[in-house]
């Protein structure tokens, strides 16, 4: 598990617990919230669905709220920067692309707290929350990188009905693409890059690089513009081709 994710999980005490109480108050500053008690439950559902397409009807059913109310409350979460939306990326590579966005909390420590998991339980084999928390963590690191770099890019995702899925697609202003697959494993294989390979072949020179980010500590090449790197490459001194001009990130 990334060291900083471990630190985020350890911080899941009073400060994070307090944030779930403060959020309704922040929202009340600009909106009329009549069912504020459901906001922590809604945040928990967002944390639990991290990395999956948004299905508002399912969330509404789980909370006993109307679809419109859930959409309104999710909008409030974005307004106070508790949550962010990752839009679907599409250039009509396939007629079977899905158009649903993904939602992430903007704090992986808060997500871990809401899911009632911690550093110790995440270290247990088969932890059901590890994958979504690692993906949430990577997303928050990408948000930080977006704020620090001079190279503007959008954070998107790809999914189609044929089972192809790419966790994050970073699209630069010139249309070039940097693709990321996140694996909550210390031992990735070339199979984990199969959808990145498919995208590379579809896009040609527009495809800058594809990276499988994993929980191990070694990097490995998977051929033309494809590689696996530790999650720590996002803030370390590892040179990532195609990101920030090919300079070291960190």
Q: Confidence band (pLDDT; 50, 70, 90) for 149?
A: confident
Query: Is the pTM here over 0.95, yes or no?
Result: no
Count how many Cα atoms sit within 13 Å of the Cα of residue 47 in the half-sphere of its side chain: 25
> pLDDT tens, 151-210?
789 999 999 888 899 999 999 989 999 999 999 999 999 999 999 999 999 999 999 999
In angstroms, the CA 148 to CA 143 distance is: 9
**Mind listing the pLDDT tens digit for each residue in 215-226?**
999 999 999 999
Q: What is the mean pLDDT of residues 51-69?
A: 91
Q: Are 188 and 212 in contact (CB under 8 A)?
A: yes
Tokens of 83: 């949550």
Of 28-37, 70-79, 191-200, give the range with the top mean pLDDT. 191-200
| Mean pLDDT value of segment 22-41 | 70
What domains are there in the chain, each with its CATH number? 15-175 (1.10.10.10)
Q: Which residues of 117-143 are buried (b: 16+ CB within 10 A; e: fewer)?
A: bbeeebeeeeeebbebbbbbbbbbbbe
Does the pLDDT at position 241 exceed 90?
no
Is 247:238 a contact under the CB 8 Å cutoff?
A: no
State both tokens at 156.
């998107």
């Amino acid at each position: 598990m990334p060291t900083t994710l471990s630190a985020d999980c350890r911080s899941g005490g009073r400060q994070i617990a307090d944030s779930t109480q403060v959020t309704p108050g922040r929202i009340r500053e600009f909106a009329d919230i009549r069912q504020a008690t459901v906001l922590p439950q809604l945040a928990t559902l967002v944390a639990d669905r991290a990395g999956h397409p948004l299905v508002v009807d399912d969330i509404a059913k789980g909370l006993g709220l109307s679809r419109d109310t859930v959409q309104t409350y999710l909008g409030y979460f974005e307004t106070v920067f508790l949550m962010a939306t990752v839009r679907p990326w599409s250039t009509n590579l396939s007629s079977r692309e899905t158009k649903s966005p993904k939602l992430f909390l903007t704090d992986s420590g808060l997500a871990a707290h809401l899911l009632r998991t911690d550093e110790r339980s995440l270290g247990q084999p088969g932890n059901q929350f590890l994958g979504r928390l690692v993906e949430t963590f990577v997303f928050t690191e990408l948000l930080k990188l977006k704020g620090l770099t001079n190279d503007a890019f959008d954070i998107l995702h790809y999914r189609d009905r044929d089972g192809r899925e790419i966790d994050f697609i970073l699209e630069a202003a010139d249309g070039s693409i940097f693709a990321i697959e996140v694996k909550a494993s210390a031992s990735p294989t070339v199979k984990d890059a199969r959808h990145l390979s498919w995208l590379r072949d579809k896009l040609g020179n527009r495809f800058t690089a594809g990276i499988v980010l994993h929980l191990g500590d070694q990097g490995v090449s998977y051929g033309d513009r494809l590689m696996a790197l530790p999650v720590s490459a996002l803030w370390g001194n590892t040179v990532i081709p195609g990101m920030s001009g090919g300079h070291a990130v960190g």
